[in-house]
């Protein structure tokens, strides 16, 4: 694995780790859920559902990065991994647009660059050759 792509994978894992901490802080009530999800959550129960799904999705994305980086020795089809990384890139691009119209300005100005960076980095990994 070349140094640039290794750095990209480590950077993505760092961002996902920080995002997981953020989601656990929301679940624990340290961060008010009203300040998240574009300010559109209506209840505590809705927040639990959204946060649980978000945590699961982020863990799945971390799993995919670990497979791509060959940190996990799992026989995963290279073509499927490429498709999943393109899908991740698309999800983060759409999420970036959603963050731009967030009601909460903190979410708008912090989450927008994070999702934009993730969109770009996952697109780079999607283009990476399977042997890397």
- Per the CB < 8 A criterion, the answer to whether 23 and 50 are in contact is no
Give this prediction's pTM.
Answer: 0.89
Range 118-121, long-range pairs (CB < 8 A, 24+ positions): 118/12, 118/15, 118/88, 118/92, 119/89, 119/90, 119/92, 119/93, 119/95, 120/89, 121/8, 121/11, 121/12
Q: How many CB atoms lie within 10 A of CB 109?
A: 12
**pLDDT digit string (tens) for 67-122?**
999 999 999 999 999 999 999 999 999 999 988 887 778 778 998 999 999 999 99
**pLDDT digit string (tens) for 19-71?**
999 999 999 999 988 878 877 888 999 999 999 999 999 999 999 999 999 99
Residues 6 or more apart whose CB falls under 8 angstroms from that of 10 comprise: none
């Amino acid at each position: 694995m070349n140094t640039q792509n290794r750095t990209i994978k480590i950077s993505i894992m760092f961002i996902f780790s920080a995002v997981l901490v953020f989601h656990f802080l929301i679940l624990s009530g340290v961060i008010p859920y009203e300040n998240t999800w574009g300010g559109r959550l209506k209840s505590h129960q809705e927040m639990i559902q959204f946060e649980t799904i978000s945590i699961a999705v982020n863990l799945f994305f971390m799993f995919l990065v670990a497979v791509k980086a060959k940190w996990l020795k799992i026989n995963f089809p290279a073509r499927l991994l490429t498709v999943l990384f393109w899908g991740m890139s698309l999800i983060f691009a759409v999420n970036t647009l959603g963050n731009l119209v967030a009601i909460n300005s903190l979410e708008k100005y912090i989450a927008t660059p994070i999702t934009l960076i993730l969109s770009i980095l996952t697109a780079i990994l999607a283009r990476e050759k399977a042997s890397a």
